[in-house]
Each structure stands twice: as structure tokens, then as C-alpha cells.
Structure 1
Amino acid sequence: MAIAISWGTVKSLLIFFGPVLLPRLITAYRSLRVSIASRPPPRPLPAAAGRALNILFGGIVFFLLLSLPFNPHAPEPNIFTLTRSRLNTPTDVIFNRLSRFRPDNLLTSADTLLQSKLTSLGARRVYLTFGPDALVSCQFCSYDDLTTYLLYYLPFHVLLPHLAHLMLLGIATSAPLAGRDSARWRMKFTLAGLALAAIDIYIMASYDAINGAPLSVRAGQNPPTSLYNNITLLRPLAIVVCDILCAAVIWLSATHRFFFKPPSSEDQIDTAVQMAIQSLTGATTKLHASSVTRNAVVRDKALKSRDDLYWQTMAASESPTGAGGEILNNIWEEEEVARAMSRAMAGQGGIDLAQLGVNANDFVRGVTEGL
């Protein structure tokens, strides 16, 4: 009966929302197909996106080391699990068992201070939720109000690592450092980091290490687990997973394998301006080189005399009359030269005019490259 009602409810919802959702789904499917069809082929990873991935990789390695149980900043083992004690086990019995794990079977000063505090069920709730430091060091906290312990716990244990994570994401998505391929994800990555921090705060504010424990733990059959120990190692591990996903998104989008976004009009204008600037820079460099070469020729007497002689010879060969009006021999009007030019133009002079044109085009292209 329940199945029939559920199916009828589903059909009613489909009938009601179908005319609205179906066109949107069809439009989204078509736009996805167009996006995939117009996506350019994959390209190598740009240098700017590579810097973003290197920054994220450094953060991944750092937080991964913090998630290992044997790192220097890892919390001390839970004394209930270590000594196989239950919630209702007397304090003296717990610490007598704990002394067996200490050098020379003697409790340390920190153990003695913790023993003086761990005398009630409320204290054990604080120990399992916020750790031994909050139980021992907090001066304004009260067992009757766990919010006071939460305020003591949050700044250094929750907010500080998440602020460091957000700063890491901000650097990895900075446009001047990581390029536009990474900067386009800045808002989404920031929201992901904030959501991760909000989930962490919600867990610490809502979880009760005793009331939320399994029934066997509350009945005194099994040792209780410590939320403080677990969350201290899981927090950097969650950040590592988030950074891995962010790095994968940057890599896919930067290499045009997925999440391709066509360049906007502003990007196209910027690209055109950059190309124009590069062309003008190349032309300026070539003009400057030509000017330097010309100055070098003019300043040297031998080169200057050879240059003058060359242009005088060329002027005399091109003009049939000299400076005094006398008739000079024009090399282009000589009979042998005219016949040789005629044979060459007819393709009978052993000269490949097509190859000569290609060579001339290559020469002009090389001289005017960038103009």
C-alpha cells in the first residue's frame, strides 16, 4: 500500500514539475553537447596553472603529514582506549593502568594534573569532546555549559587550520600568480573551504561524546572513543581531499580537458592588444638594429667610402646620362644583357623563377617578421 502511494506521489510530482523541468533539461543537454563539440583539443599545462598546482601540492603534503597519527603534533592516545577502561571506571583505576604505559611506571606531571580534573562524568565528556588541554587549561569554562569549552577550543583547533586553508586557496587562485585558469575558480573554492569549516564547527558544537556514543559504551561495556582524537586527524585529511579535488579541477580546466569556458570579449581584446604590443616591439627592435647598423657604416671611413662607391655605381648603371649630361653605357641596354634577360624570363636561362620567387618571399618574410 505504501509503495502504491509513494509511486502515485512521484507521478503527481512529475506531472506538476515536468513541463517546467523537461525544457530546462533539454536545453542543458544541448548546451553540454555544443560545449563538448566546440571544445578545443587538450593543450599542455600553462606555466601559471602549474604554479597553482605546485602551491596546492605543498598544502596537500603539509596537511597530509598533520593527518598521520605519528606526527609530532598528533594528540596523545585516548586514555580510555589505551587502558581499556569504561566510562564508569574509577579515576584511580584508570590512572593506575595508565602508569604501566609510562617510563618507570610513574605518571608524568601532565597525567597527575589530568587525574585531578577527570573526576566526574561531565569532565569525562569534556575530555572526550575537546581534549585534555581544554579540560585542564580553560579557566572560565564550566561543566554545566559546554559552550564555554567550545569557545576555548575553536580558535586554535578549528579556525586556525581552516583560515590557513583558505589563505592557501586564495594564493592558489590569485590571478597575478596563478593565471586566469585558476582565478576563475576562486569564488567556488572559497565557498568549498568555508563549507568545510562550517561542517567542522557544526560537528564540534552538536556532538555529545557520551549521549552520542553507542549503547554498549553508555552501558559501560566498551571503552568510549574520543571525538577530539578522531577529529584532530580527520580535519587535515578532509582538507587534503578538498585540495586534491581543487587541483584536479584546475588541471582539467587549464588543459581544456573539461570545464572549458570560451574566452570573453575582454579576454579577446587583451589577447589582441598583447599581440599588437609584441609586433610593435619586434618592429621597434628591427628598426633600432637597422639604425645602429647604418650609424656604424657612416662612422667608419672605409665602410662609408665603399657604401658611396656602391650607390654611385648603381646610379650610373641605372641612368644613361651622367652628372655632366654625357651619355653613359647603361648595362641594362647592352645587347647581351637584354638577350640573357629574355632567355631567363622565357625559362631558358637555367634559372628557376618559381624557386627564386619563394626565396624572395622567404627573405621578405624574415626581414618583416613581426611587422
Structure 2
Amino acid sequence: MVSWQTTTTLLSLFGVPLVSKGLALYRSARASAQNIPIRPTPPHVNRALNILFVSALLFLLSSLPYFTPANIFQQTQSRLAIPTDVLFARLAAARPLTHTDHALKAKFHSPDARLLYLHYGPDVVANCQFCRSDGPGSYLVYALPSLLLPHLAHLAVLGLATSSLLAGPEGSRFRTPVTLAGVALAAADVYLVASHAQPPYTAATTTTVGGHIDAFFWKLRLYRSLALTVADLSAALLLWTTATNRLLALPPRPAERMEHGARTLELALAKLKALGSVRNVVFRDAGLRDRVGAYWTAEGAVTRAMFEEREVVEGVRAALARADMGGLMEQADRYTEGVFAGVEVVRTPMGAVG
């Protein structure tokens, strides 16, 4: 047993560096995505998120006592060494006996069978026909299908939620990592069941289940359901943060950038054509041309009147004194070059078409 002092010492030695390293990695990943705008969750990613949320909810519900086989020692508040007839008499007074209860009653005359019951649960001990108490490995072989079934369902959910057909490139990007995480959970589960050793039976002769006797099957079932729930929620969080460009955002592919640039140029060209048409209409019509001239004549008069006021002149002088004229000139030059560069880009396909 690790003492609290040892735990705090380890946390003080390794906790702070690990946390600072994690924060540095997060800031680095976040900085790399600063130039990529956050976007709404794509519809196909929403479908994958819904699948992961439903799966997490089902695994969470499976951890409730209602869906968990009862521990008859805990249900009857009995010692592990209680006589078999007394144990099942108490159980019959609490509820009707089932087929599994009768099978357990026939096997509980062996002390090892009771320890195996705590290790593998009621179904394995009651229904395994080829298992022997002197060969615990046979119980592990029989328990493997039911042990791996939730993990196989979990891997199927992860594969569905990260498939390119359902979740698009945002989901298929993490298909391999989440699959490996699901396989690692399954391997860890099998390893815990295979390597766990129950305490000696002699230690249970005067101790109830609430003492140090290890109800391993029920604890592991709870931890398994919670681990699969956390795994699904973590996958959903990873998928959502990356699909919305909040974290680990990927820059657009060259083809996407070219397509976006082409659309931008087409939109600019359409606006320039519309502006040219409006100007042609205005200057070909005598009435509209006179109204435009009158408008700019009035605007010039207002501007001259404003600059004849002392307060306006002093305000303009103060603003010019505070302004960085060199920087403003550089910005104006860059803007002008960008405008004429855009005009040349727009003009080239027009000349080619003509």
C-alpha cells in the first residue's frame, strides 16, 4: 500500500513538470491553429458524435446495479465461509431461487468455487461444464467471450464513428489511434482478470464480504463500464474539437485553397462587372450624372466648411502629429500593390477568354 506521504512526494516531483508540459503542448497546438477560423460542427461529424454519446450512455447505464448480477454474499450479508444450506436459505427468503442459484448451490460445497465466484461472477461458475476448481485457467477460457463482448461492441462503435463514409475525413483522421486505444482497453481487461489473485480462503472464515474479501468481478465490471464510457466521451471530445478547428486543426489542402481562391476571384470579378455596369448607366443618363455631380459638389462644400473651423483644424493637426506617417505610407503602398496585383490576376483570364 502506497502511503499518502509517498503519493504527495511523487506528485510534487512529477506532477508539476507533467502539467507544465501538457500546457505547453496545448498552447503549441492552439497557436498552430490561430490562422484557421473556428467553424460550426459539420453535419457528418454530428452523426458520429451522436453515435458516441449513445454508446457512452449505454455503457454508463450498464454500470448500474439494476443491470449487474447480484452478489449473493453481499445480498444476504453473509460470510464467505457460511454453510451452503444456510446461505441459500437466506437467499430464498429474499427472492425466489433461479436455475443459476441451484447450479451454484451444487458447487459451493468447494471452498475454491466460492473464490472463483468472486473472481469470475455467477454465470461462469454456474454454467461452465468443463471447468475444474483445480484448473482455474479453464474458467478464464470460458469467461473470455463474455469478457470481450463489450470491448468488441466498443470497437465496432469506434470504427463506425471514425469511418470516412459516416464521419468524413475529420473522423477517419483518428481511426487508427482510437482503435488502438480500444484494443489496449480490451488487453488491459483480459490481463487484469488473468493476473488477479484472490486472497486465501482461510482469511474469509470470519470476515464478511464488506471486509477485505475482494469481490473482484463486480468491481471490475464497474470499472470496465466507466472506462468505456470515458473512452467514448474522450473520442467525441477529440472529434468535436478537431472538426471545429479548436485544437489540432489542419490547414486546408492545396486543392481546397485553390478552389477557395478561384471562388474569391470570381466573386470579385462579378462585383467589378456590376460596379462597371452601374457606372455606365449613371454616366450615360444626364439626370443621374447631374445628381452625382451635385452630390460631390455639396460634399466638397461641407468638407471645406469643416476645415475652416478652428477646432477641426487643430484636431486634424493633433491626429497627424500622433500618427506614424511612415507606417501609414507602407500600408498604403502594400494595399495599392495588392489591388493592382488582384486586377492583373482578374484581367488575365478575361484576356485569355477574349
Instruction: Tell me the SS of whatever aligns to 1:97.
Output: helix
- Would the aligned equivalents of 1:39 and 1:260 in 2 still touch at CA under 8 Å? no
Residue in structure 1 matched with residue 86 of structure 2 by the alignment:
93
| 1:250 is aligned to 2:239 | yes
| 1:148 is aligned to 2:138 | yes
| 1:81 is aligned to 2:74 | yes
The TM-score, its normalising length taken from structure 1, stands at: 0.60
- Would the aligned equivalents of 1:140 and 1:148 in 2 still touch at CA under 8 Å? yes
Residue in structure 2 matched with residue 334 of structure 1 by the alignment:
none
Question: Which amino acid is the alignment partner of residue 79 of structure 1?
Answer: I
- Would the aligned equivalents of 1:64 and 1:237 in 2 still touch at CA under 8 Å? yes
- Would the aligned equivalents of 1:41 and 1:256 in 2 still touch at CA under 8 Å? yes
Instruction: Tell me the SS of whatever aligns to 1:57.
Output: helix
Residue in structure 2 matched with residue 186 of structure 1 by the alignment:
175
Instruction: Tell me the SS of whatever aligns to 1:89.
Output: coil
- Would the aligned equivalents of 1:125 and 1:208 in 2 still touch at CA under 8 Å? no
Instruction: Tell me the SS of whatever aligns to 1:124.
Output: helix
Give CA deviations for 1:21-62 in whole Å, capped at 9, x if unaligned.
Answer: xxxx9xx87992784474423221111211111111121122
| Partner of residue 70 from structure 1, selected from 40, 63, 66 | 66
- Would the aligned equivalents of 1:49 and 1:179 in 2 still touch at CA under 8 Å? yes
Question: Which amino acid is the alignment partner of residue 50 of structure 1?
Answer: N
* Cα distance in 2, alignment partners of residues 80 and 168 from structure 1: 36
Report the Cα offset of residue 150 of structure 1. Answer: 0.4
| 1:134 is aligned to 2:124 | yes
Give CA deviations for 1:237-269 in whole Å, capped at 9, x if unaligned.
Answer: 211111011111111111111122223xxx322
| Partner of residue 112 from structure 1, selected from 81, 96, 102 | 102
Residue in structure 2 matched with residue 57 of structure 1 by the alignment:
53
Please say which structure displays the higher CA radius of gyration.
1
Give CA deviations for 1:266-316 in whole Å, capped at 9, x if unaligned.
Answer: x32256469979x99xxxxxxxxxxxxxxxxxxxxxxxxxxxxxxxxxxxx
Superposition RMSD in Å: 3.7
Residue in structure 1 matched with residue 113 of structure 2 by the alignment:
123
The TM-score, its normalising length taken from structure 2, stands at: 0.63
* Cα distance in 1, alignment partners of residues 25 and 179 from structure 2: 28
Which range moved further: 86-95 or 249-258?
Answer: 86-95
| 1:221 is aligned to 2:207 | yes
Instruction: Tell me the SS of whatever aligns to 1:43.
Output: coil
Relative to structure 1, is the Cα distance of residues 262 and 351 closer, same or farther in structure 2, using a 3 angstrom cutoff? closer
Residue in structure 2 matched with residue 206 of structure 1 by the alignment:
195
- Would the aligned equivalents of 2:241 and 2:247 in 1 still touch at CA under 8 Å? yes
Instruction: Tell me the SS of whatever aligns to 2:78.
Output: coil
Relative to structure 1, is the Cα distance of residues 222 and 352 closer, same or farther in structure 2, using a 3 angstrom cutoff? farther
Relative to structure 1, is the Cα distance of residues 67 and 86 closer, same or farther in structure 2, using a 3 angstrom cutoff? same
Relative to structure 1, is the Cα distance of residues 109 and 351 closer, same or farther in structure 2, using a 3 angstrom cutoff? closer
Relative to structure 1, is the Cα distance of residues 174 and 350 closer, same or farther in structure 2, using a 3 angstrom cutoff? same
* Cα distance in 1, alignment partners of residues 76 and 294 from structure 2: 97
Where in structure 2 are there 5+ consecutive unaligned residues? Answer: 1-20, 267-282, 297-349
Residue in structure 1 matched with residue 336 of structure 2 by the alignment:
none
| Larger helix proportion of the pair | 2
Residue in structure 1 matched with residue 162 of structure 2 by the alignment:
173
* Cα distance in 2, alignment partners of residues 36 and 272 from structure 1: 21
Report the Cα offset of residue 351 of structure 1. Answer: 5.9
- Would the aligned equivalents of 1:91 and 1:118 in 2 still touch at CA under 8 Å? yes
Relative to structure 1, is the Cα distance of residues 31 and 87 closer, same or farther in structure 2, using a 3 angstrom cutoff? closer
| Partner of residue 161 from structure 1, selected from 150, 162, 165 | 150
Which range moved further: 220-229 or 56-65?
Answer: 220-229
Instruction: Tell me the SS of whatever aligns to 1:96.
Output: helix
Report the Cα offset of residue 108 of structure 1. Answer: 4.1
Question: Which amino acid is the alignment partner of residue 206 of structure 2?
Answer: G
Residue in structure 1 matched with residue 279 of structure 2 by the alignment:
none
Give CA deviations for 1:212-260 in whole Å, capped at 9, x if unaligned.
Answer: x9x9x54632323422223233322211111011111111111111122
Report the Cα offset of residue 95 of structure 1. Answer: 1.6
Question: Which amino acid is the alignment partner of residue 49 of structure 2?
Answer: L
Relative to structure 1, is the Cα distance of residues 175 and 30 closer, same or farther in structure 2, using a 3 angstrom cutoff? closer
* Cα distance in 2, alignment partners of residues 352 and 179 from structure 1: 57
Relative to structure 1, is the Cα distance of residues 187 and 39 closer, same or farther in structure 2, using a 3 angstrom cutoff? farther
